[in-house]
Amino acid sequence: MKEDQDRKDRKDSEATVDEALLLVSGSKGDKASDKEYVKKLSNAVLQVFHKHDIARLRCVGAAAINNAVKAFIIAKGEAQKRGEDIFMNPSFTTVNFNGEEKTGILIEIESE
């Protein structure tokens, strides 16, 4: 009985996974690795966007927001080369870190 409930709980939690969500981290302190991270993030944004028609970037902290915006700008330039126009729609979100709620930014990347 308990095993059935555990299996159902796992299925429910798996069903609520947002495959279009990317978690953005802040600066690592090394400019070269930060540039590489932003470029990889921009590629991930485009891959997720093309697969799901939307990409969501969840950021907590100024450095993470900065990286997300830079990645969006790079992704937008790449998308324009392909004749696509993408835009971002930022909003506030609440994120749970180790039982503590923090305010973050959720950036949704969409096309018209």
pLDDT at 103: 96
Q: Are 67 and 41 in contact (CB under 8 A)?
A: yes
Total domain count, the chain: 1
Instruction: Tell me the pLDDT tens digit for each residue of 68-89.
Output: 999 999 999 999 999 999 999 9
- Asked if residue 100 has pLDDT above 80, the reply is yes
Sorting pLDDT into bands at 50, 70 and 90, what band is 11?
very low
34 belongs to a structural domain: yes
- Residues 6 or more apart from 36 whose CB is under 8 A from it? none
- Domain membership of residue 6 (yes or no) is no
Q: Is 13 among the domain residues?
A: no
Give the pLDDT of residue 3.
Answer: 52
50 compared with 4, residue with greater pLDDT: 50
Compute the distance between CA of residue 59 and CA of residue 63 in angstroms, rounded to an integer: 9
Q: In this structure, what CATH number is given to the domain that contains residue 46?
A: 3.30.110.20
Give the three-state DSSP class for 90: strand
Is residue 73 domain-resident?
A: yes
Q: Which two tokens stand for residue 91?
A: 């909003």
In the chain, the percentage of residues whose pLDDT exceeds 90 is: 73
Domain that holds residue 84: 20-111
pLDDT for 12 beyond 60: no
In a domain, 49, yes or no: yes
Distance between CA atoms of residues 39 and 31, nearest Å = 12
- Residue 92 falls inside a structural domain: yes
H or E segment at 61?
A: none
Residue 2 has pLDDT above 70, yes or no: no
Residue 2 lies in a domain: no
**Residue 25 DSSP label:** P
Quick check: is 11 in a domain?
Answer: no
Which bin fits 72, alpha (ψ -120 to 50), beta or left (φ > 0)?
alpha
